[in-house]
Amino acid sequence: MTAREEILGSIRTALKRAAGQPPVLEAAPLPAPTMRIPRSDRNLYVNLFVQSLEKLAGKAFVVRNNAAVVPALAELLANKNVVASNAPYLRECGITGLPQVHTGFMDRDELRVACAGADVGITSVDYALAATGSFVMIASPKEARLVSLLPPVHVAVVPCSRIVANLDELLSIVPRPADITSSMVLITGPSRTADIEQILVRGVHGPGEVYAVLVEES
């Protein structure tokens, strides 16, 4: 008997199995997943979102209603080449009516060219996460990913009603994102990376500046 056979024989003896007997796998059943959704005042989510975003070097503006969105962005968009997504909410806020804003793209190649040459990309969001200051973008013809990725500045116009507590609450609302979209992207602050010496650089893989306009009454 070889050493290998002796070792395997000892293992079979310990397991009370005969030679050639197939293994019996008896994995314990997994516990049901637990969703951790805070039971806090939803009115506090706006302040928590602002704090979370600004910790990541993003900036937020809180405005009263749709009519206040364009005035809040006037300085940021002045003399800029801007591309906007096809989200109906941006039209309701008056964004797409600005002369420097280009929107309505349905052809992907045209959209790519427009985004590559734009100074600012403006989108709405499907949801926002208060705990991390994240935008949740569900890809669709209304919200193309390129608008939030290619321009060096990303502005998201967010109805406060779309702010949820955290990722767990989001997944309780959208439990199977793949059933409705090709991708669901979470954008958390400006793009950043660091080399081996841990030197932080923003804007390498996406926008280096991120702004949120939070609309209290939409």
Any domain includes 4: no
- Number of domains into which the chain is organized: 1
- Degrees to nearest 5, angle at CA 147 with 146 and 150: 65
Query: What pLDDT shows up at residue 25?
Result: 63
Q: What is the CATH number of the domain that holds 157?
A: 3.40.50.10420
In this structure, the chain runs to a length of: 218
Any domain includes 18: no
3-state secondary structure of 95: helix
Any domain includes 153: yes
> Which domain does 57 fall in, by range?
42-217
Any domain includes 195: yes
DSSP 33-71: P--------GGGHHHHHHHHHHHTT-EEEEEEEGGGHHH
Any domain includes 49: yes
Instruction: Give counts: helices (H), strands (E), the chain.
Output: 7, 12
Query: What pLDDT shows up at residue 68?
Result: 97
Task: Output the tens digit of pLDDT for each of the chain's 218 residues.
Answer: 789 888 888 888 887 777 777 666 666 788 877 778 877 777 899 999 999 999 999 999 999 999 999 999 999 999 999 999 999 999 999 999 999 999 999 999 999 999 999 999 999 999 999 999 999 999 999 999 999 999 999 999 999 999 999 999 999 999 999 999 989 999 998 877 766 667 767 656 779 999 999 999 86
Any domain includes 9: no
Any domain includes 106: yes
Any domain includes 75: yes
